Amino acid sequence: MQLLELSHFKALIYVNNSYQNFQTLAYQRAVHIHVNHGESDKISMVSNQSKAYDKVFVAGSAAKDRYLSAVAWVDEKKLIPIGRPQLDLETTPLLERSSLKTITYAPTWEGEDEANNYTSMDCYGIAIIDAALKQKNCRVIYKPHPRILDSKDPLINSAHKYITQQLSRGEHEIHLTGDVLSVLKDTDLLISDISSVTLDYLYLRPSGAIFLTDRRSDRELLVADSPVAKAAYIIDSSTVAALAQSIEKVLERDELFENRQEVCRYYFGGIAAGESTAAFYRELERSIAEHDLAVAQLSRSRRGH
């Protein structure tokens, strides 16, 4: 708190819901803004703790609806859409240049509990790689979530070992480190789970086909929890056996192209790649100005401020 009092910050920006945030929330003269650290349909993205912040910057309408569906008494006026500023940054290419089409498998990890478990590694990982490797004129890229590498789940460990062995030959690539965004920009078809990776790909490459996994094999719940499913080809217990044929058909003719454009607008509000950073600074400056005016009208302040 002493640092805040001496520095006279105008805004404090929070990238998670750590309990340590609530000490700095006592600082009266700054506007407190939560931005989270990505855009994802995981239930961990929304929390009752969001009520503590003055404003919550979100990507678009999908994020607003996510809060309204999961947090009672949430103040919709505090939810400010700004797109995805993080995706405006330039990245260094990770993949080797290739004339082959690129299929990327980018699974998430198993989460801290079952409610946050969206990984496909233990249930579909091996089948996904086998199906991808059957495609002609394609290379397969494996880019797992970093926490896959230290998983305690034996099925995940077994799938990871199998995948790395299968992709060690030919033009296929394994990227256990590095920026996933660098991979997504050169991906023609993405296979992933409910995660920020799927939505980042939708934003960066709305023309690229998406295969979305559903470990619970509950299509109605999947669409309700993750609306991007309406614009993705679903991998679940009823479709995984024919996955190789499904990928082949999509590579030849992608029937969900128009759906993805519509869903992309729902998630990101029509803010084009490269424009989100300007939207972020615009809303930040507006929030600071509004808060400064409100603070100036206060009759009492915390000692030391």
| Contact assessment for residue 110 and residue 122, using Cβ atoms and an 8 Å cutoff | yes
- Indicate the CATH number for domain 101-268: 3.40.50.2000
Residue-by-residue DSSP string for 130-145: HHHHTSTTEEEEE---
What is the pLDDT tens value at each position of the chain, 305 positions in all? 677 877 889 999 999 988 888 899 999 999 999 999 889 999 999 999 999 999 999 999 999 999 999 999 999 999 999 999 999 999 999 999 999 999 999 999 999 999 999 999 999 999 999 999 999 999 999 999 999 999 999 999 999 999 999 999 999 999 999 999 999 999 999 999 999 999 999 999 999 999 999 999 999 999 999 999 999 999 999 999 999 999 999 999 999 999 999 999 999 998 887 899 999 999 999 999 999 999 999 998 765 54
Question: Residue 281 half-sphere exposure, CB side, CA atoms within 13 Å?
Answer: 5
Pairwise CA distance, residues 216 & 222, whole Å: 8
162-191 burial, b at 16+ Cβ within 10 Å, e below that, comes to ebeebbeeeebbbbeeeebbbbbbbbbbbb
DSSP code at position 90: -
pTM of the model: 0.92
Domain extent listing, the chain: 2-83+273-296, 101-268
Contacts within 8 Å (CB) and 24+ apart, 175-181? 175/94, 175/141, 175/142, 175/143, 176/144, 176/146, 176/149, 177/146, 178/94, 178/143, 179/91, 179/92, 179/94, 180/106, 180/143, 181/87, 181/89, 181/91
